[in-house]
Amino acid sequence: MTATRTAQAHPLLARLSIATHGSVVDGTVDGPSVVSLNPATGEPIASVRLASTVDLDGAIARAHSAFELWRDVPAPHRGEIIRLIGNEFRRLKEPLGELVSLEMGKIRAEGLGEVQETIDIADFAVGLSRQLYGLSMHSERARHRMFEQWQPLGPIGIITAFNFPCAVWGWNAMIAAVCGDTCIWKPSLFTPLTAIASNEIARRVMREQTLFTPHGVDPADVFTLVIGSDEAVGEPMLADRRLPLISATGSCRMGRRVAEVVGKRLGRTLLELGGNNAITVMADADIELVTRAVLFGAVGTAGQRCTSTRRLLVHEGIVERLIERLRAAYSSIPIGDPLNPKTLMGPLIDSRAVVAMRRAVETAVAQGCTVVCGGVEGIERAAAKPGNFVEPTILRVPRGTVPPITCEETFAPILYVFTVASLDEAIALQNGVDQGLSSAIFTDSVRSAERFLSAAGSDCGIANVNIGTSGAEIGGAFGGEKDTGGGRESGSDSWKAYMRRQTCTVNWGGDLPLAQGITFGT
């Protein structure tokens, strides 16, 4: 492929000092490459060379060499280096956030917010570096001490999707690194420039360390980036036994493939896959609060979040009022250039996403849904401008039905509105899909809220009361159940996924008693 705009021509790349990076190419590219396109205009930003399987093999070897030394660095010292990396992301937050918006299409505020997530998880990791705790257990044998400790796991494979081209890597890499692991990152081919910039920021800080210099190992190889196709990089990465853990974010289809290949070699997986998230709205809910939550949840990032609100389960007593409020709110959403501070919704990632949204809307109508706003006509109106723009769509579902399309995840701003008569009906509808990521209820009733949060309530990994489905904080473990994959990233005790547990027993006595009172010989 050829990019008509060279790397040097774009000021964001120059501000981030990646214009002359070895993977970013000016003009014509010899060999396999990918062109990063601006989804708001369709124009090329820069070309990026694609790695081969040989390149991947070398990257894993370097990461393994770095791991053998990095794991011996005391965890608090690792935390100090992560602190410096977080500070460098702070310094470059604005140009990197704008690059996210340019390359992925989310609005500038969300692009900056995504970089802030990486900063926040770096801060979290710094504190974690002094809290990688194990338990002490009482032994049944006299003069024995029993305890558990956590050891670094090894080089970690990280596969990320286009919609969070910086933050999801940050969730994994900052925690894995502070745990003593090294990282090999395969980013989405839609967002290679953000990946290069993010990884290079971490590598620059690592290069300033002299930890491994006497051993001939580059400290920057704690963070390794391999941009390549599924065939050349993805599949070999999954099958490589040198990577004890593969953390993958993407579709349920992709997750099944990851689990199959990694499982065959008895490796570990951390999967963050699809979401078909619902908000339940009870009759006593604050309508203003609901409207704002749904607007961000369903329209934010143009519906391209795994936590986006896709279904709205509204009590029959307020459904008409809420639909009218949402119709008015949707009509006032500024759609356009994501770098314009007045824009609230940017484009979809590419033309195929636009086609997928149109097909989903047509299917929903064929299955009995009614367009409240947007729809195919809205998609056609948006198509009049360059780029991959659409209008957000609300579809009302016939009462008492569950059209099959509503059980699928379409990565676009489509909201299905169901009418329910009770909380039990809403919970049954919410849980009646294959995905189980995020959920929310709006109510002023403590009983309703607690019922929703009980074991018989939401079956999702995230359950919120009076806030929407989207916008999780890094302090809590992030992930979901069922087809969402079951993985947990970010906060809480998610760090344990990146380490191996070791149970230890020390005999400090002069005898050798056996457990369970067993005697063996004399």
Q: Is the predicted pLDDT of residue 5 greater than 80, yes or no?
A: no
Q: What is the pLDDT of residues 451-506, one digit of tens each?
A: 999 999 999 999 999 999 998 899 999 999 999 999 999 999 999 999 999 999 99
Residue 134 lies in a domain: yes
Could you tell me if 422 and 455 lie in one domain? yes
* Same domain flag for 397 and 263: no
Report how far residue 41's alpha carbon sits from residue 61's, in angstroms, rounded to the nearest whole number.
Answer: 40
Residue 215 lies in a domain: yes
Total structural domains in the chain? 2
388-402: per-residue pLDDT in tens? Answer: 999 999 999 999 999
Known active-site residue 373 = no
Residues 208 and 321 in one domain: no
List, for residues 406-461, the tens digit of each pLDDT value. Answer: 999 999 999 999 999 999 999 999 999 999 999 999 999 999 999 999 999 999 99
481 within some domain: no
**Is residue 272 annotated as part of the catalytic site, yes or no?**
yes
Domain of residue 119, CATH code? 3.40.605.10
| pTM score, whole prediction | 0.95
185 and 312 part of one domain: no
**Residue of 279, 275, 276 lying closest to 418 (CA atoms):** 279
Q: What is the CATH number of the domain that holds 425?
A: 3.40.309.10
Asked if 290 and 354 sit in the same domain, the reply is yes
Asked if 40 and 137 sit in the same domain, the reply is: yes
pLDDT at position 22 is: 64
Closest CA relative to residue 178, chosen from 136, 216, 131: 131
Indicate the pLDDT class of residue 385, thresholds 50, 70 and 90: confident
Predicted pLDDT at 231: 98
Distance CA(503)–CA(453), nearest Å, equals: 34
Of residues 149, 414, 169, the one with CA closest to residue 305: 414
Residue 58, pLDDT > 70, answer yes
Instruction: Answer yes or no: is 229 within a domain.
Output: yes
Q: Would you say how long the chain is, in residues?
A: 522
Residue 72 located in a structural domain: yes
pLDDT, tens digit (0-9, with 9 covering 90-100), for 315-333: 999 999 999 999 999 999 9
Residue found under tokens 């300033």:
208
CB-based contacts of 482, cutoff 8 Å, min separation 6 = 434, 435, 436, 459
Do 253 and 349 lie in one domain? The reply is no
What are 222-244's pLDDT values in tens digits? 999 999 999 999 999 999 999 99
Tens digits of residue pLDDT in 165-187: 999 999 999 999 999 999 999 99
Catalytic residue among 103, 272, 391, 489: 272
Domain end point (choices 239, 273, 307)? 273
Report d(CA 425, CA 403) in Å as an integer.
Answer: 16
Same domain, 226 and 324: no
**Structural domain that includes position 327:** 277-473
pLDDT at residue 27, rounded to an integer: 52
Note whether 117 and 251 are same-domain residues: yes
DSSP string, 60-85: HHHHHHHHHHHTTS-HHHHHHHHHHH
Is pLDDT of 55 > 80? yes
Convert the pLDDT of each residue in 6-21 to its tens digit: 444 478 888 888 765 6
Which two three-digit tokens encode residue 225? 């980036």
Residues 236 and 372 in one domain: no
Can you tell me the distance from the alpha carbon of 288 to that of 508, in angstroms, rounded to the nearest whole number? 66
pLDDT tier at 25, thresholds 50, 70, 90: low
Domain stops at, among 273, 304, 324: 273
Residue 489 inside a domain? The answer is no
Q: How many helices (H) and strands (E) does the chain have?
A: 15, 22
Query: Cα 420 from chain centroid?
Result: 31
Are residues 268 and 310 located together in one domain of the fold?
Answer: no
Give the pLDDT of residue 242.
98
Residue 89 belongs to a domain: yes
Choosing from 166, 252, 306, 373, the catalytic residue is 306
Domain stops at, among 273, 293, 320:
273
Mean pLDDT, residues 324-352: 97
Over residues 64-107, the pLDDT tens digits come to 999 999 999 999 999 999 999 999 999 999 999 999 999 999 99
114 inside domain:
yes
**30 & 151 share domain:** yes
The answer to whether 307 touches 467, Cβ cutoff 8 Å, is: no
